[in-house]
């Protein structure tokens, strides 16, 4: 099954897509009302974490795929299917805005890891786009498998470098002074 066949199959059931991507911001709004002042506390922050992941992964995938289609394949944005490209991104933005109104996203468990991964994917996408614009076909040989493989290798290198640069050192705690 190709990605286009998957999108065609999903587009044939718009009620499922509308239901899934519609329920995410609605759940975030209801949770915001129900949580009150305790939105940053235990049961609510895990609900928010689940909503962030359910909204961000398909939203960022749709965004990156849409950018790829516009920048590399030179497709018109008017050819995009609203349900498979625009709805996931709009749902992600709405969900994150509703959650951010109630609790700072840095307090949501796993958000920093997810945002770091999304930044690495974006950086890898930019490098791949620059390489494509510079017409470095020696590496690609026109093969999509080679391009995807190179993307994965660059992503792994970026993540390894980021981990070495920012995650390698542990903070040392100061000894407490007793008076």
> What does the pLDDT look like over 15-56, one tens digit per residue?
988 999 999 999 999 998 888 777 777 788 889 889 999 999
Give 81 or 134, the one with higher predicted confidence: 81
Please tell me the predicted confidence (pLDDT) of residue 136: 61
pTM for this model (two decimals)? 0.70
Instruction: Look at residue 96 in the predicted model and tell me its pLDDT.
Output: 92
Give the span between the Cα atoms of 44 and 58, in whole angstroms. Answer: 22
Better pLDDT: 138 or 107: 107
Report the pLDDT value the prediction gives residue 118, as an integer from 0 to 100.
Answer: 78
Residue 125 has pLDDT above 60, yes or no: yes
- Which residues, 6+ apart, have CB-to-CB distance to 79 below 8 Å? none
- pLDDT band at residue 114 using 50, 70 and 90 as cut-offs: confident
**Placement of tokens 């990156």 in the chain:** 64
CA distance 40 to 143: 48
User: In whole numbers, what is the pLDDT of the chain averaged over residues?
Assistant: 80
pLDDT at 141: 60
Each residue's pLDDT tens digit, 152-168: 888 888 777 777 666 65
Show Cβ contacts of residue 77 under 8 Å, excluding neighbours closer than 6 positions: 66, 70
Structure tokens at 44: 């609510």
User: From the CB of residue 84, how many other CB atoms can be counted at a distance below 10 Å?
Assistant: 19
Number of other CB atoms surrounding residue 58 within 10 Å: 20
Structure token pair of residue 71 = 């920048």
Query: Tell me, what's the pLDDT at 137?
Result: 55
pLDDT digits (tens, 9 = 90+) for 57-74: 899 888 888 888 887 778
Residue 174 banded pLDDT, cuts 50, 70, 90:
low
Mean pLDDT across 99-122: 80
């Amino acid at each position: 099954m190709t990605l286009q066949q998957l999108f065609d199959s999903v587009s044939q059931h718009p009620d499922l897509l509308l239901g899934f991507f519609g329920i995410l911001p609605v759940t975030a709004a209801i949770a915001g009302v129900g949580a009150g002042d305790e939105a940053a506390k235990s049961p609510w922050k895990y609900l928010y974490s689940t909503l962030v992941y359910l909204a961000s992964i398909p939203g960022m995938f749709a965004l990156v795929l849409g950018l790829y289609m516009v920048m590399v394949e030179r497709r018109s944005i008017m050819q995009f299917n609203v349900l498979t490209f625009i709805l996931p991104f709009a749902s992600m933005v709405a969900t994150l805005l509703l959650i951010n109104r109630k609790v700072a996203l840095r307090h949501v468990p796993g958000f920093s890891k997810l945002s770091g991964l999304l930044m690495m994917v974006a950086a890898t996408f930019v490098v791949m786009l620059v390489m494509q614009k510079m017409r470095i076909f020696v590496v690609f040989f026109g093969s999509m498998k080679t391009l995807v493989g190179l993307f994965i290798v660059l992503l792994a290198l970026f993540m390894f470098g980021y981990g070495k640069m920012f995650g390698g050192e542990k903070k040392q705690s100061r000894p407490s002074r007793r008076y």
